[in-house]
Each structure stands twice: as C-alpha cells, then as structure tokens.
Structure 1
Amino acid sequence: MVLTFFFILFSFTYSAIGTVVKEKDKREILNKVYTLKIPFIENKGQIKGESVKYYAKTLGGTVFVTKDGKLVYSLPKFETKEKVKGWVIKESLVGTSISNVKGEEEAVTKVSYFKGKDPSKWKRGISTYNLVSLGEVYKKIELKLKAYGKNVEKLFYVKAGANPESIKIKIEGAKSLRVNENGELEVETGLGVVKFTKPVAYQEINGKRVEVAAAYTLLSNPQYVYGFKVGSYDKKETLIIDPLLASTFIGGSSDDYGYSIALDGGGNVYITGYTYSSDYPKTPGAYDESHNGERDVFVSRLNSSLSSLLASTFIGGSSDDYGYSIALDGGGNVYITGYTYSSDYPKTPGAYDESHNGERDVFVSKLNSSLSSLLASTFIGGSSYDSGYSIALDRDGNVYITGSTEFSDYPTTSYAYDKSHNGHYDVFVSKLNSSLSSLLASTFIGGSSDDYGYSIALDGGGNVYITGYTYSSDYPPTPGAYDESHNGERDVFVSRLNSSLSSLLASTFIGGSSWDCGYSIALDGGGNVYVTGYTYSSDYPPTPGAYDESHNGGGDVFVSKLNSSLSSLLASTFIGGSSDDDYGYSIALDGGGNVYVTGYTYSSDYPPTPGAYDESHNGHYDIFVSKFDSDLSAAAPLPDIKANGSDGPITLDQSDTITIIVALDNKGRTDNADWWLAADTPFGLFFFTFDGWTDAWVPGYQGPLFYLNSFEVLNMPVSGLPAGTYTLYFGVDTLMDGNVTWDSVYYDTVVVNITE
C-alpha cells in the first residue's frame, strides 16, 4: 500500500468546496497543504543518542540526521490494542565518509524543552535551521537537506567536473526496492510502501532554470542501493538533483481526501473526509472496520501531538459517500454531514428519515467520541441531487446544516421561511434535534438560477448565518441590506435567519461584475460577520483605508466584514498577487478580534510580512495564512515585548526598575489565561505574574498565567536580583494547560543585562 498523509496544521475546512470546484483542483489544494517548511532542530541533549545531530518533526514522521551523515526516517506510529506499530528506514551514502554535518540558514524559531521538575535538565533557546548541509559527500558533489510538512528533500549539487553517477545511496529497513512506471522509487516497509518522487534535475543558467532529464537507477551490489542517471547537460555549470521522500501521515493505498477538522476540550483532533482506500487505517473496536464501497466516509481521531491514531472508522454504503463537515458537542460526540449515493448508507432506528430518497442524499451521522458506536444517523433529501456542505451545533445540541438541493421535494417544515423551490439548485438550511430523530425546521432560500450554501455559523441568540454564492439576480435580499442588487455573473450572498428558520432577518449581496464566491463565515462577539472567498471582480467593493483597495489580478482573496443586520459593509479588503489563482477557503477569529484567513495562492508576489515564517513563494500553489486586525486595515504583525522601551539588549543596575511593555494587536482584553512572560537566567527560570494589581518575579512558577489587555506595562524593581544576563521570553501556552512546555509558542524575546 501507499500511505497518504493529511497535514493538520490549522482549521482548514473544505466544507465550503462544492461541485463547481474541479476534482483536480481539490487534489492540488490538498497536496499543497503539505509544503509548509519545517526547520531542523539542533540536538543539544534533548534527543537520546549522541549520534543524532539534527532532526525535523514532519507530519510524515521524524527524520534524524546523524553526525556521520546518515538519514534515519522514523515513520509515524499508530496504536492498536495489541501493540504500537511503526517503522524505521535509514539512508547512507556508499563509498564516502561524512564528518561535517552542520545547520545553515538559521531560522527565527527557537525551541525550548521544559520537561520534568529539575531545571538543570531543561533545554532553552535551541537553534533551528532551514537547511542541513552534509558538505562535500563525493568529489565536487555537495548534499543539503530541507524538511517540509510531509516530506524531506535531498539536494545534490553536482559541480563542474563531477560525475553524478558517483552518487550511491543504500537503504536499510526495506523489504524490497523498485522503480515504478511513474519513475518513483518505492520502498516496501512493514507499514506499506513509502515513495520517493521521481527525481528532478536542473541547472540555473543566466538566471533561468533549465530542466535536465533524470531517473533512478537500482544497483544490485550491495542490496537496496540506488543512484541517478541524468540526460545531457552543461558540464561547465552546477547540476542540482532533487528527489523528495514523499512520506505520509494517514491513509491507504488509494486516494484519501480530508475536508474538515475539529478539536475537543482535551486537544484531540477529529477529521473527516472520504477515502477510496480499503486499507485506510481503522482501529480495533471502531464502529465499522470494513470498507463498504468505492468511496467511503472516514472519521479519525488523533491525539493533540498527532503522534497516535486513537480511533478511526469507516462509515458508508455500497456506492459513493462523501464527508464534508464535522462538529463536536459538549459531551464529545461527533457529528458529520456530507452526501451519499448509497441507499444502504447506515441509518439508525427512529431516525428522521431511514430511506434514501433520490440520486444522492444529504446524511447527518452522530458517533460517540471513541468512534465505536453510531449513536444516530439519518438521510435528508429529495428525489434528485442534494449535498450537505457545512454543519453547526447550538447550545442545546440541535444540529444545523446547509448545502444545495436540486429538486422541489427536499423536505421543508410548516412555518419555514420559504417552502417553495425556486430554481435549478437552491440553498437549504435544516435543523434537527440532537438525536437526529426529528426535523425541527427546514427551508429553501434562493432565486431562479443556481444558489449554493457553503458555510454556516450561529450567534449567541441562535440566529443562523450562511454564506455561499448565487447566480440568481432574484436571490432574496432584505430592505435596507448593504446591497440589494445582484452585480454580475455570480455574487457572494450573506443571509441571516432566526433559529426556527421561519424568518429571513437580513440578506445581502456582495460582489462585483465578474465571479465572486463566498466560502467561509465567522462571527465575532459583537455579532459582526466576516466572510472570505475569492473574486475575479476588479470592482468587488473594498472600503477606504482597507489593507488593499486594489484588485491585483485574476482571482483575488477577499475578506469582508458586515454588521449583524447586514446593512453596512464595515470593512472589506483584497489580498493577493498578480496570478489568476488566489483563493480564500477558511476564516477564523481570535479573542482579540484579529482575523485569520487561509487558502492557496499561485502568486509569487502574494504579500508576506517582514519576519514571517516563510517570506518566499515555493512554487506552483502555496498555502497562505494571513492575519488582519479587526477593521481589515493592515496585515497585523505578531505581538512583541520591549524592556524599558527597547528591543534590547539593555543594561540595568540594582537601583533600576525594569519596565516590560507588552503590545498586542487586540482592541480589548483577551479573557484567557494562556499568555506568559518568563526569564531564562543563570539562576533558574523566573516567571512574571500579573493579576491586575501586583507585578512580581517568581522562580520556577508555572501558573496561573496572566491576562493581557492590548497594551500592558509591567514594572519590577531590579533590586535583589542576581547579576547576570536575563533572556525574557513572551509567548502563549497553546494547550492552555498552565504549563510552559513544548506546546508553547514564543512570540518575542528581549535580553536584559543586570549588573551589581
């Protein structure tokens, strides 16, 4: 089997992707999620075994680089009741000796390990590197390594006069080795087949990249050794040979697609999507351990570090089944929606609808947190094509779904806002009780052409907001809406209904003269509505003072903010580059109202910010993550700290007071106790506490951590502190467990020297 990974890094949900997006485009998006760069961490004793010099924790497992230049790939483990399964393969270069392994291009990331209660064993401020160089591994041939979300890249630099056929690489831990019909190197392991991509070779000549034909060659003596054969090239210029270890995280021998993600209170990660793979990993005791048809829905649960597969199940029937959105209730039960072509998709006795209705039906299914039991499952649909794309739960556990339906007999309820089907495809919004036994409310909303609902959100009062896009000039706006007129080919819509779906409280178009698509919606604490998607309209409406008021070319991402009544466009911005393809697919807000958007871009000039994790476009489609302040006026920088107004280093004596200035982009208080400020000193770790009244340094303190406003000034007398150098770390405890451990993220540091 070939393992296929999902790179779970942020809440990147495809519940917004519909049938209008081509399958190859979905595949491209998913593949590009894997390409985030992962730095190599220097081993300062935190990894047992003196031979390890650097390592990188990719989502495809950990790769270790030893002092003598060996590459050790620890493929991901998953747990069963009998044992923990895993596998290790090693690569070493044949006929050479390596002793000059070193990190290059030091990354901004620093890593600290505060494990155990003994401070002498803590590791702080460990450097990380974007590259690891093995130096000259053969005469005039250098080797460098890069790590990404799911793979590891070897870069051989074959200089003028060198022979590329000198490169010979031995693989240990292989059961077999072969080159497949696509030119990929396949390594059979105890977990299945691990692939190395077909090698790429090229030269940089006069500022242009010149491709060179390249292929793997297998050498029988010694066993499991491979090399490279290349076509003609300019022997006076350096040749780069670039194979990738295309490892995986979770999947089977065929295609697997992840579409939605959710986290429970303990940080466990739930994902859903669909799989063609009969060997997609399932766990003993799962609800359904057998693949049922060509495409099955899967639901998988992983621990917070993504190192263990805690539970995994199929769910489906004998035809095609697609999972698109997932949500969890307060008890940890798992709800999914999507659509199914299977008349035998599993339903439960007493469900709202136990019968499949047409070509394809929406399904809603509820499993327990261990994925061992199907608690409830129902069909909902009419006699033609119905698709569920997004799901949300209210505080009472009622279930809301939205999507699109083609026919007039999709079920509506007596007091629905609109009981009549309006055109070819209509948006639907449906509400079921938590046991999925009763359809509490259901309505159409749409016009005479095609309308698609892609994302749903609920406010504190139970009102329902949806977004998507419409071709219908008569899609229903409400009087006083921001925009009551359809603008072009297809427009974004945002609509608000009451909790019983009996009244359209507000509804507006937003768009320009070309194609505009809304894919994700989020609400802030004040009820303001944020949407993202993409637009091909140069006249899509920005607002004065927005981050970017000009359309950049082709398809741009848009981010727009409306008030809760949808009567006013409070803020709206473009963001993108000069390519045709910049698409926003998911949006989220933090406690301070900052706005995060993710999607993908083909534009090498998509705007990064100075000091960003990766300021360079990596090729073809790249994933982007962009952060704005709440009024969309600027791409917001990260929070930072200053000591006595300086970025440091500063020098103080015993008579001074140190003033720590903590600046956030928030507009108000962040009511969660997960921020911390710590000092790494020769005398131990000191934590700064702030409760609104007193400021203090406490040696070895681990909580409670302090609250922050958007701007804090924390004062502390230096008197009594030992002389020495203090590195102050400001960050956030990402698991909010009161411990500053490996799960912490550092935002900024400043150095303070204290004299006698």
Structure 2
Amino acid sequence: MSRTLVLATLTVVFLGMGIVPCSFRGRSATFDACHRGIALGPAAGFVENLGQWPDSLRFAAARDGRWLHVVDGALVAGDHGRALRFTHGGAAAAMHGVAPRSWRCNFLFGPDQAEWVRGARAFASVRIDDVAPGIDLVVREAIDGGAFAYDLVLDPGADAGALEFTVDGASRITVDDASGELVLDVSGSTLRQSAPIAWSLDAGGARVPLVCRFELRAADRFGFLVGCSDPQTARVIDPDLRWATCVGGTAIDDGFALGVARNGDAFVAGSTQSLDLATSAGVFDPTYNGSIPTPRVVGDCYVARLAASDGRLLWISYLGGVENDRLVACDAIGDDPILTGWTTSLDFPVTPLAFDTSHNGTGDGYVYSGGDVFVTRVTADGTNLVWSSFLGGAMLEYPTSMAVLQNGEVAVSGHVHSTNFPTTPGAYSSARRAFSDAFVTRFAADGSALLGSTYFGGADGEEYPFAMAFDPQGGMVIAGATDSNDLPVTPGAWDTTFNGGSLHFADGFVARFDPTASTLTWSTYLGTPSNEYPRGIAMESDGSMTLTGAIDGPGLPVSQNAFDPTHSGGFDGFAWRLSADGSATLSATYVGGSADDIFERCAPLGGGRVAISGSTLSADAPRTRGALLSSPLGANDGWLVVLSSDASSVDYATLIGGRFGDRGLDVRQAPDGALVTAGTNYSPDYATTPGTQTYRGGGDAYCQALAALPLGVSRHGAPSGACARGARVMARSGPFVGEPRFELSAGDVPTASPALALVALGVLAAPLPLLGIDVWVDPNSLVVSTPVLVDARACAHLPLAVPATSGLAGATIAVQFAWLDACPGYVLGASDAVRVVIQL
C-alpha cells in the first residue's frame, strides 16, 4: 500500500489545455527558447523531450512567459528570468509522464527537416521515482486552477522527513505562523507555498486527517513534518477534492443540472451543440440530432453518468430531435436519471403509453424561447427510456424546476403562455390569468397520467417558479420571482403585500399546493423594496425550508445573528429560511462581496444546514480556511457555500473554476455525505483529476465531488436504528487551534427525545451492536457521554471550542450521537461517527 503526500502549490501560473495538436517553429537550443516555443503555442501539458531540447530537460510546460521545467535533479520554475529551483536527491532518477493527453506536439526547428521533432506526447503529470528512499515525486496541474503542484508518494514505512528541498537563490525561508504557508525570499521577490493538508487512509480506505507542516532545515532548505500515525498506513496530504471532471465536446456544452443515484454516481445533464460527445456503445441516442436555428441554435440535450469513486464517465447520451431542445433540470429516482426541459422538435422521443405523445405547438416560443415541456426518465445504464412524455398547449411553455419522489412520481413547474395547457379536474386554477402564468404539474410514476396540474399567477404580471420541492406531506412547494402586484396570497402568510422593484423579477414568492394541485394551502410574497429572485429551495424534514437566490439591495429581514446583515454591492446571494406554514421567517442573511454574487440551487444537509451553488464576480466574496480555491482566477468564478443552520456562519466556502467564466448551477449531497456540484465553465485551465475528461473547448459542463466535512474531520461508520433516520454528523467551522466556533451536530434527531454525544479517543473497525444501534466509537476509550441540546430544527449540537494551544495539534477524538426514538415504540437511534484531528 502506498501513501500520497500532496504538498504545496508552486507559484507558477498555468493556463489550461488546448484540444488541437500543437506545432512550434524556430530554434530551441536553450531553455529560454524552450519555454518561448511552448508559450507561443496552445498550452500542452507536460511535454516530453524527444530531442527538441537539451538532454537534461526531460519535460516542460509553459504559458504566458511563465514556465516549469522538469530536469535531472530539479524542478525549475521562473518568470521572466527569475528562476526558482527545487532540488531533490536523485540526479538520474527515472521519470515518466502520467495520463497522456489526446494530442501530440510538433517542433519544426530550422530549415533542415531532419532536425524536426514530431509527435511529442503531453501528459497531465510527471512522476519522478525515488527522489528519497521510498518516496516518489509527482508534478501536476494544481487543483486550484492556474498553478502547478507537487505530490509525494510514499511507500509503507517511508519517512517523509528524509526528503529535503533546496531553494536555489533563496536568501531567507520562513513559515507564516498564522497561515502555515512557506514564505520564500528569492531574488528580491517574495513567493509563498500554501500550507500542506494531510490525512491517512485506514484499512478500509477511509480518510483520517493528520497534522502536517513545513519544517525549516537551513536558510535555503525545508522539509515536511508529519504528525504521528501508523507508518504502515497510507497517508495523504491534499485538498478535500475527491474528483473533478469536464463533460462535453468541442462546441458549447452547458452543465445545467445534477442528480445523484443511490450508489453515489452523479448524473450531469445540460444542452449541447457538440457533434462529438464521447457517447458509449449501446446508449439510447448516440448521435447528435441536429438543430434548426429559429432564431438561434440551442442544440440537443444530453445526460451523462459519472462514477462516484473517481468521476470517470460511465456513459453519456444525447436526447433530442431535429429542432431545438433545452435541458432545464435533472434528478434521480433510484438509479435512473429523470430529466425535464423544453423542445420545439416534433420528433422528440416519447414512449407509447406516456401521458402525451404528440407535440402540441410552439407558438411564440421561436421568439421568446420555449415550446413543449418534456419529462423523460432514462434507464440506469443509459440504454433506453423508461418513459417520456410531452406536456403543453398550443403556445409556448417551458419548465424552470422539478422535484421527484422515490416512488417514481415527478412534479414540474414552469412558465406557460398557452391558454389550453392541460389541467386536472378540480385544479386550483384551470385558466390563465395574465399574458403568462406559472404552472404546477404532477406526473404518475409511470408517466401515463397527471395526478394534478394547475395554473398559478396574478392578473397583472408574470411568474417564474425557479425552485420546487416536495414537502414531508407530499405537498408541492414552488418558489421564484414575480412582478404581479395581485399574486394570490393567503391570510396569515409572512408577506401579503407586493413590495415593488425596478426589474422584471421584482419580488420573490413561495407557494404550497396540496398533492393534487387542487388547493393553494398557503402563498406568500418573499420580497423587499429591492429586486430579489429565489433560485433554490432546501426542504427540511419538519417542513421548513431555506430559499436561496439573489438580491440587489437592502431590505432583507436578516436575523439577529445573521452572517452578514447588510447588502455589500451589486447582487448579493441570500439565504432565507421560512416556516413550514409560510407564516414566519426563521432566519435570513446576505452572503456576498462588493460585486455581483448569485446563489442558484441548494441542497439540504440536515438540521437546517444548506449547501448552495452559485457564482461570484467579487474578489472579496466569502471563502473559508481550507477552501479548495481561495483566490479568484477569472472574471467570474463558480462558488460553493455551506451555511450554518441558523444562518449565522459560513461553515465552508470555496471558489470553483479557472481563468475564464465559470458558473455554479446545482449541488446535491451524495449518500456518503460528499457534496457534488455542477455548472458551466469556459476555462481551459479548469483543473480535473486523473482519469477524467479535460476541457475540450467551446464551453463545457463541469462536475466535482468534495468531502462534506472540513479539514480535520472524517466520517466513520453509518447511521443506525429502527427509525432509519439516516442522521449524519456535520461540522461547523473546522477543528483548528484557537477556533472558538468549532461544533459537531447531527440532523434529523427527534426534538422531544433525550440525546447524548459519545466522545472517545478512537473508533472501531467494526460496529458494536447495542440495543438496536451500531456503536462506532470505541467504548474502551470512552471519555465522556454527555447530554446535548436538540433544537427546534431537529438538530443535536455539541460545541467543541478549540483552545489556542499549539500543543493540541494532532490530538484526536471520536464522536457519535445517540438518542431515544419513538417509531415504533421507544427505541434507540444513532448517527454515524466522526474522527476529529486538531489542526494548526
């Protein structure tokens, strides 16, 4: 078994990969000409030396005048002549490229064609064997975008401390006590390497966080000090990214929506104009279906399945007809992806027994975009359609949101112009009130019939229900934006008065319908004097919900301890928690910086915590310590935020993307707690993980999975108990020395039942069965069993403020929650467990 140490990132900017073969002309007899040649061509990865450069230069990568050379005995990096050299012990160590790219590079030097070099391969990384006993070094593209990084791969028993790096030209090396970064004074410049992040792999392959830090050896030398652990177990020092991939072809591909299967595989879906998606043999639609530009090309839809373990593409298929097809939302029922969008294609694939097998008309959809709604369920292996149906009237309609139940029922909501849109007997509203309305429609599990369908809206404006969810009673809740001053609202609702606004999306709204769409249970504006529009909804087990979206001014009814009580500039993201009956605001906060920040879809994490996808233009948008990407790389970055249950803190926030436009659009929580997020990126330097697809051009979808727990906290075991609540432990902030806000919690715990936190020094390799639950913390090292508070949101809390004592670094505890449950009778319930390692 090996162990990997992923260490600090070199301060060398690297601008992504092209997708075409690269050819360079001119002489290349020197290192200077080497990086000049690569920089003039498309970024090509780590290009092997087939004789185009001096023999000592084994691989090279460069862009924009900044370059990195892998040479015998060193990594050499520099910018306009300022060289930074990291030396290692093996001057003649074997090295080889890893993960070859799909193109070759040609070097056409001088008039003599005999000296030309063709077909040089490019690689995602380079591995150098035995730079110290039992230690290999891997140079790669960094996870955080434009920089390079180096990893150390250790054999069992190898000592990380045996490896030493020398920085040529360094006048001084220090370690920043606050951040843990390595600070290097080199040739009059100050360079920084981010602090290493570490964990080990236990016998089952689970991650166990470790302490790792830089160690100064001399004025120009440094190494690494790794905390105590079993030397025969695998160790990893890396960000918390599990995998990252692009999805798409060489034209425009959007990553609009995301679903997660029962086994954790991710379904990514969107729209594409690429004729060359890497479709798999046997999928139901392997070829692009064409599009008619009326008035503009939209293209086909697609859906792809990605492996939970590493993000590998398992299959991808087109979905569409000869005209335009647009994907809007995706989810999963069991292991089947289910999709909705709109189509102008009369030959869009539908199944014989579906509710509606004929296209109903597009009307002015050619002008405004739209056509008929489609709802399509695909088999888990992508080879066939379970069912597929049209939905619509003679004019245009398009869906804006979707929700599913695991019994197979699916509801869609959207925007409708048709006066003959299908409604069901007894519907809340069977007639359109204005130029356009919202619609809410529920399909039977086999797609053959409608269980409920209604119009909804005011007579004075338009409604756009961008978010939808089923509540615990099976009711349908929609949320979105409206400019109607007479939207139907109900007595006792939070806000019964239109608040105004200067834009088309003037006020937010939230409305709940019964399962048959025959009764408007409650409805409220969700507005301020500014413009706001909800884009996401996270439904809790008690029926309360968090709405996420964007707002461009003051007036949000922020809670007393809100993370950010004031508007910061442009559009800010907002999170607004509403009671189950729509009568009260439970919490609300702004989240943003000085420019535009947009929250999109969100996912409930239990106990009121919520993960939010989005995008930001703000250099000062909130990010947290240990973020995957903490510095903006482009004009617009994707954004992932985890907000505490009371909206008082951002537990985690990271940027996502590269040096060009990136937009986060959807996020889900996988069964193992990982956060899976997807969106659209236009950054050739978006960093993917080995074995996944890289950026192909024109704009691709991206998808990545991150551990849901912060650095220093790792999951162990699984929830248990007769009530099958599935309560998982979550963390607020991180277990850093001097962190007063660190707290563990478990969601979906009965509010009226006593609960305990079991705190021990270790975990068990196999659970100990006890009175119907599985105990995962080691009872032989039990430190305390302490009562804990369960709040009104069904969340149990264990505050664990970490003293500002550096000697605590590396200390480990294990925590599991248990409680008395009442379904059926009085039985025990328990969460999974976590191991906590205190970090510097």
Q: TM-score range by the shorter chain?
A: 0.5 to 0.7
Q: 1:282 to 1:417 in 2, by over 3 A?
A: same
Match of 2:798 among 692, 697, 711: 711
**2:79 corresponds to 1:157:** yes
1:342-381 equivalences under 5 Å are: 342-359=345-362, 360-381=371-392
Equivalent in the alignment of 1:519: 535
Counterpart position of 2:324: 320
Q: Distance in 2 between matches of 1:669 and 1:313?
A: 41
Distance 2:776 2:574 in 1: 39
Contact 1:639–1:665, Cα closer than 8 Å, also in 2: no
Which of 284, 289, 304 is the equivalent residue of 1:287? 284
- Counterpart pick for 1:624 among 616, 625, 639: 639
- Aligned partner of 1:437 in structure 2 is 448
Shift of 1:620: 1.6
Q: Contact 1:629 / 1:665 at 8 angstroms: preserved in 2?
A: no
Please give the per-residue CA displacement for 1:147-200, whole angstroms capped at 9, x wherever unaligned. xxxxxxxxx4113799xxxxxxx9998446599xxxxxx999899xxxx9xxxx
Structure 1 vs Structure 2: percent identity of aligned residues? 28
SS in 2 for 1:419: coil
Q: Which string of whole-angstrom CA distances, capped at 9 and with x for unpartnered residues, describes residues 29-73 of structure 1? A: xxxxxxxxxxxxxxx95589xxxx9xxxx9999xxxxxx9x99xx
CA deviations over 1:122-157 (Å, ceiling 9, x no partner):
xxxxxxxxxx9968979xx9954xxxxxxxxxxx41
Query: Would you say 1:691 and 2:758 are equivalent positions?
Result: no
| Deviation, structure 1 residue 90 | 3.6
CA contact (8 A) 1:588 1:595 kept: yes
Q: Say whether residues 1:728 and 2:812 are aligned partners.
A: yes
Q: State the aligned residue count.
A: 524
Q: Which deviations, in whole Å up to 9, do the C-alpha atoms of 1:344-387 show, x marking residues without a partner?
A: 10111122111111111000112211111112111101112211
Match of 2:698 in 1: none
User: Which letter does structure 1 place at the counterpart of 2:248?
Assistant: G
Question: Is 1:97 aligned with 2:44?
Answer: no
For residue 481 of structure 1, what is the amino acid of its counterpart?
A
> Which of 590, 606, 610 in structure 1 is aligned with 2:621?
606
Query: Please, which of 455, 461, 466 is the counterpart of residue 478 of structure 2?
Result: 466
Q: How far is the alpha carbon of 1:275 from its aligned partner?
A: 1.1
Q: Does structure 2 conserve the Cα–Cα contact (< 8 Å) formed by 1:639 and 1:662?
A: no
What amino acid is aligned across from residue 339 of structure 1 in structure 2?
W
Any idea what SS the aligned residue of 2:556 has?
coil
In the alignment, structure 1 residue 251 sits paired with structure 2 residue 251: no
Aligned to 1:64: none
CA distances 1:498-545 after superposition (whole Å, capped 9, x unpaired): 001001111111122232111001111111111000001212332322
**SS of equivalent residue, structure 2 residue 247:** coil
Could you say which residue in structure 1 is the equivalent of 2:578?
Answer: 562
Q: Which moved more, 1:567-576 or 1:90-99?
A: 90-99
1:507 alignment counterpart: 523
1: CA distance, partners of 2:556 / 2:290:
43
Deviation (angstroms), 1:308: 3.0
CA contact (8 A) 1:640 1:663 kept: no
Q: After superposition, give the CA deviation of every residue in 1:539-569 in whole Å (9 maximum; x if it has no partner).
A: 2332322121111111011100010110111
1:523-562 equivalence runs, <5 A: 523-562=539-578
DSSP-derived class of the 1:541 partner: coil
Report matched runs for 1:298-317 at 5 Å. 298-317=302-321
* Partner of residue 487, structure 2: 475
Counterpart residue identity of residue 541, structure 1: P
1:269 to 2:281 alignment: no
1:556-592 CA-to-partner distances (Å, cap 9, x unmatched) read 111000101101111111111111x100002122133
Q: Residue 210 of structure 1 aligns with which residue?
A: none
Shift in alpha-carbon separation, 1:615–1:460, aligned structure 2, 3 A: same
Taking the aligned partners of 1:629 and 1:264, their CA distance within structure 2 comes to 26
- CA–CA distance in structure 1, aligned partners of residues 253 and 585 of structure 2: 39
* Residue 174 of structure 2: aligned partner: none
- Following superposition, the deviation at residue 396 of structure 1 comes to 3.2
In the alignment, is the contact (CA less than 8 A) between 2:400 and 2:464 conserved in 1?
A: no
Gapped regions of structure 2 (runs ≥ 5): 19-30, 36-43, 61-65, 85-96, 109-117, 124-140, 147-186, 192-243, 292-298, 363-370, 653-708, 714-733, 752-757, 769-773, 783-794, 801-808, 817-831
Contact 1:300 1:309 (C-alpha < 8 Å) held by counterparts: yes
Shift of 1:340: 0.4
Q: How does 1:23-62 map to 2 (within 5 A)?
A: 45-46=2-3
- Say if 1:528 and 1:561, in contact at 8 Å, map to a contact too: yes
Structure 1 counterpart of 2:600: 585
Instruction: Provide the C-alpha distance between the structure 1 equivalents of 2:400 and 2:311, rounded to a whole number of angstroms.
Output: 29
8 Å Cα contact 2:59/2:71 also seen in 1:
no
Distance 1:749 1:446, change over 3 A: same
Preserved contact between residue 90 and residue 173 of structure 1 (Cα < 8 Å): no
Indicate if the aligned counterparts of 1:677 and 1:688 stay in contact, CA closer than 8 A: no
Equivalent-residue separation in structure 1 for 2:839 and 2:401 (angstroms): 48
Q: Distance in 2 between matches of 1:529 and 1:536?
A: 22
Give the TM-score of the pair, scaled to structure 1: 0.60
3-state SS of paired residue (1:272): strand
The Cα RMSD (Å) is 5.0
Separation of aligned partners in 1, 2:302 and 2:101 = 33
Structure 2 letter corresponding to 1:278: L
CA distance in 2, matches of 1:270, 1:249: 13
Cα distance between partner residues in 2 of 1:670 and 1:273: 39
Q: 1:393-412 maps to which residues of 2 (within 5 A)?
A: 393-412=404-423
User: Residue 624 of structure 1 aligns to which amino acid in structure 2?
Assistant: W
State the partner residue of 1:329: 333
SS at match of 2:445: coil
Change (3 A) 1:491 1:133: same
Give the residue type in structure 2 aligned to 1:474: D
Q: Secondary structure at the match of 2:423?
A: coil
Matched, 1:749 2:832: no
1:623-662 equivalences under 5 Å are 623-636=638-651
SS in 2 for 1:257: coil
Distance 1:296 1:473, change over 3 A: same
Name the counterpart of 1:454: 466
Q: Counterparts of 1:130-141 in structure 2 under 5 Å?
A: none
- Distance in 2 (CA, whole Å) between partners of 1:384 and 1:189 is 54
| One-letter amino acid of the structure 2 residue matched with residue 343 of structure 1 | L
Using the TM superposition, give the Cα deviation of residue 749 of structure 1 relative to its aligned residue in structure 2, in angstroms: 1.6
What is the alpha-carbon distance in structure 2 between the residues aligned to residue 286 and residue 473 of structure 1?
48
Distance 1:540 1:570 in 2: 13
SS at match of 1:696: helix
CA contact (8 A) 1:640 1:730 kept: no
